[in-house]
Structures are given as C-alpha cells and as structure tokens.
C-alpha cells in the first residue's frame, strides 16, 4: 500500500523535472557550478526564465545556492541529483521511441568516430599507451574530472597538439553520450594523423558507474 505523504513529496521531484529548460539547467550544473547569468547564456534562456526555473529546482531541493558578493552561484544539491539524471536518460532510451530515435541519429552522425570502453581505457592508461584529454571548458574540469585526464579545452586543441606525445593514443571525453565536443576533438586529431578515440562517458556517467572522480587543478599538458 502506498504512502500518500511520501507520494506527495516524490511528486515534487517530478514537477521540478517537468520542463525542458529545467533539465537543461540541471545538466549544466552536473558539470560545474554556475551563476544565473551563466546558466541563462549556456542554456539559451532568458535570465528571467532561468531564475524562475531555479526557484522551482530549489523548492524541490535539487539545487543549492551560495551568494558571493553580488553574484549567486548555483550547484547541484548532491551527487544523487546527477545520478538521477543519468537514470532518467537511461529510462528514456529504454521506454520512449523518440529518445531511441535521437540516440540512433547520434550513432549514425558519429559513425566515423571510434569509441573506447572504460575497462580498455584504464588498462591502456596503466600501461602508458594512452593519454586522456578533457575537452570541456577548464572550469568544468576543475569542478570534477576523470583521474589522470589532461585539460585541453576544444578551442585550444589545435594550438596545443605538440603537447600530446606522438607515440600514444589520445582518448577524448566531454559531457557524456550526447555531447559533441569529444567527437570534434577526435576528428581534429585524426585529421592531424593522430590515433584518437572517444570515451562516451562524462564525469556523471563515470561516477554513476562507481568510479572515482577528482576535482581541482591537475595536469594541463606540458607547455612549451
């Protein structure tokens, strides 16, 4: 027998997720904290709409806010919220034909890109046969990245190519399965004659699989 009070509270979560704009905001916050102005720009929404969405998300305890001077920075309330988004996408791919179509369209669009799985990546990194690059904006890398990854944002890849050892395979990752940044990175690398593959995982999928994610500054490649 269901618990009416529990059902009411869980329905609050469903209501908070029942808008594409709020899903977009949460997905951005899985990568790094952001101000309302930055969220509005990155999600393609007005500041007013973004603020309204954030109010709903805060009421559902899905995001937290911290004021620093004149600015308020928003972040996910916990890693469990990021895990919820991963599971939501997986259920969508399983249950909704429209999502399966979108997934298949992505597969076809990236048919020229060779993928690598988690286990193979870890084995090749341990053997020194591969180097992992994070091609997201550097602020997202600082907020959380895969262990051993080097931060090379996509716009910097061409100029920083000499930092990548020629004898090692390059594996690129970004914000997850539907993100195209790593796809573009692999295409750039292969055009330059480098051996490159894409890791479909982003930090959210990596963490949801029970693997370690680290934060803060780390290697950014060997500057010359």
CATH number, residue 156: 3.40.250.10
Q: What are the pLDDT digits (tens) for 96-112?
A: 999 999 999 999 999 99
Assess if residue 91 is contained within a domain: no
The count of domains in the chain is 2
Which among 52, 3, 65, 54 has a CA at the least distance from the CA of 25?
A: 54
* pLDDT greater than 60 at residue 1: no
In the chain, pLDDT over 90 holds for what percent of residues? 88
Q: What is the CATH number for 77? A: 1.10.10.10
Q: Cα(52)–Cα(54) distance, rounded to whole angstroms?
A: 5
Backbone angles phi, psi at 199, to 5 degrees: -95, 120
Separation of alpha carbons 224 and 221, rounded Å: 9
Is pTM beyond 0.85? Reply is yes
User: Is 69 contained in some domain?
Assistant: yes
pLDDT at 69 over 70: yes
pLDDT reading at 218 higher than 90: no
* Residues β-bridged to residue 199: 116
What is the domain extent for residue 152? 111-208
Residues 6+ apart with CB under 8 A from 158: 188
Active centre residues (catalytic): 174
């Amino acid at each position: 027998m269901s618990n009416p009070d529990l059902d009411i509270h869980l329905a609050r979560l469903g209501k908070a997720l029942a808008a594409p704009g709020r899903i977009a905001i949460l997905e951005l916050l899985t990568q790094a904290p952001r101000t309302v102005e930055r969220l509005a720009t990155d999600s393609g929404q007005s500041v007013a709409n973004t603020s309204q969405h954030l109010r709903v998300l805060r009421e559902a305890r899905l995001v937290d806010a911290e004021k620093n001077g004149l600015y308020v920075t928003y972040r996910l309330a916990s890693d469990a919220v990021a895990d919820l988004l991963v599971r939501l996408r997986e259920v969508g791919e399983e249950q909704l034909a429209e999502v399966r179509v979108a997934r298949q369209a992505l597969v076809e669009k990236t048919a020229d890109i060779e993928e690598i799985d988690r286990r193979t990546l870890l084995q090749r990194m341990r053997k020194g046969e591969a180097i992992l690059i994070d091609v997201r904006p550097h602020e997202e890398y600082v907020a959380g990245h895969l262990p051993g990854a080097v931060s090379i944002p996509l716009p910097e890849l061409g100029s920083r190519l000499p930092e990548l050892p020629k004898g090692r395979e390059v594996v690129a990752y970004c914000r997850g399965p539907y993100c195209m940044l790593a796809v573009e990175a692999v295409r750039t690398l292969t055009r330059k004659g480098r051996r490159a593959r894409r890791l479909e995982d982003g930090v959210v999928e990596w963490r949801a699989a029970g693997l370690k994610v680290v934060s803060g500054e780390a290697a950014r490649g060997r500057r010359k």
